[in-house]
Structure 1
């Protein structure tokens, strides 16, 4: 299976930088997935000046996982495996990850975030918010918001357009426990499935 895994900043970065404890839990899971599947990791951006910091982080993750660091969208092909980030300021990593999933014809695009999936309304503001188990591509468009990277909701508009146009099976899920990724790949229903 070809998988694009997007690691959201909400679970991997705090005010002090990368969350080391999270990456210690995540790396063994990624190594396990890598033995059976083609995997491209997508690292959260910090925009403009942070692009270079991301590239350092990409090099770091690449060396830990013995995967190729990728810095340009043109480097991605249907045979690509690697760690990508720090691509282009002003464009969200959600959009870049969705583009990558389309380009390699991924079987699955997974966005890891700090919530359990997509809700009918913001669960931080509404106690009666209901998690959506599944969502059609047409219904996903209703969640499209504009905004600068990191402030547009669960996915940005360009990512949603790409997922919808290419009909990329997508799961939005809580990535705080990296073992959930294995459960998902092994068929357990986790997060919100977009199809």
Structure 2
């Protein structure tokens, strides 16, 4: 059975609230694709999106206000403690987004949402849905670990950008889109450290693991449903390939 992994960004599932239009169109495409490819199965890993950012930003405001009043409370002032708390808030948001994905696919996804990619031992049905595991990285890393566990050679990373750029195009008008890039060059761009809420095409921790495993990662726009189908079909697609 061929296994394909899609890391579905939270900004696609729930930019502020669940995007019902996307969920309907995406679920229809996936269901039809699985019907046409009986030897294939899919792993969908959900990101946190708007709910993660809302809760993380709210906590930061509370922590900042509290620490200014209670200087003696070092836990609020400590950056590591703050990041740890924000990671867990983000993880909980991914689990809510994953649950709606699982629910949408009904009997195609009979297993509970996976919250520890190292503990799952079986794959029942045609779709397996996963969410965040623990602090220290994003769900991109969970997608990589599940690709390793179920012998997938590619992770498709779906987000609100169609391609990886040489720089942030919102800040640098000279930023250029990238069609193909090596892991060595990509990791120079994103660095090696993870910070909760970090905005980068693919998590630095996940990138390191993907390079070690020799995985290919395709970064593509999550709202372009026909393009996602082209990627699943192995046809020409719009996106950036990292390998």
Distance verdict in 2 for CA 1:128–1:53, change over 3 Å: closer
Distance verdict in 2 for CA 1:128–1:50, change over 3 Å: closer
- Within 5 Å, give how 1:41-190 maps onto structure 2: 41-45=44-48, 46=52, 47-49=87-89, 51-52=91-92, 54-65=94-105, 66=107, 67=109, 68=111, 69-77=113-121, 79=123, 81-145=127-191, 146-186=193-233, 187-190=235-238
Partner of 2:22: 22
TM-score, normalised to structure 1, is 0.87
> Does structure 1 conserve the Cα–Cα contact (< 8 Å) formed by 2:46 and 2:95?
no
> Does structure 2 conserve the Cα–Cα contact (< 8 Å) formed by 1:120 and 1:129?
yes
More helix by share: 2
Shift of 1:115: 1.0
Q: Which runs of 5+ in 2 are unaligned?
A: 53-86
- Deviations along 1:61-93, whole A, 9 cap, x unmatched? 223312123222234358565101142244311
3-state secondary structure, aligned to 1:39: strand
Instruction: State how far apart, in whole Å, the 1-side matches of 2:146 and 2:91 are.
Output: 18
Shift of 1:42: 0.5
Q: Count how many residue pairs are aligned between Structure 1 and Structure 2.
A: 194
> Does structure 1 conserve the Cα–Cα contact (< 8 Å) formed by 2:6 and 2:155?
yes
> Does structure 2 conserve the Cα–Cα contact (< 8 Å) formed by 1:71 and 1:85?
yes
Shift of 1:100: 1.4
Q: Does 1:192 align with 2:236?
A: no
Shift of 1:152: 4.1
Q: Which runs of 5+ in 1 are unaligned?
A: none
> Does structure 1 conserve the Cα–Cα contact (< 8 Å) formed by 2:137 and 2:194?
no
More strand by share: 1
Q: Does 1:40 align with 2:80?
A: no
- Deviations along 1:38-80, whole A, 9 cap, x unmatched? 2100100334245445434433322331212322223435856
Q: Which has the larger radius of gyration?
A: 2
Of residues 144-153 and 156-165 in structure 1, the stretch that sits farther from structure 2 once superposed is 144-153
Distance verdict in 2 for CA 1:160–1:50, change over 3 Å: closer
TM-score, normalised to structure 2, is 0.71
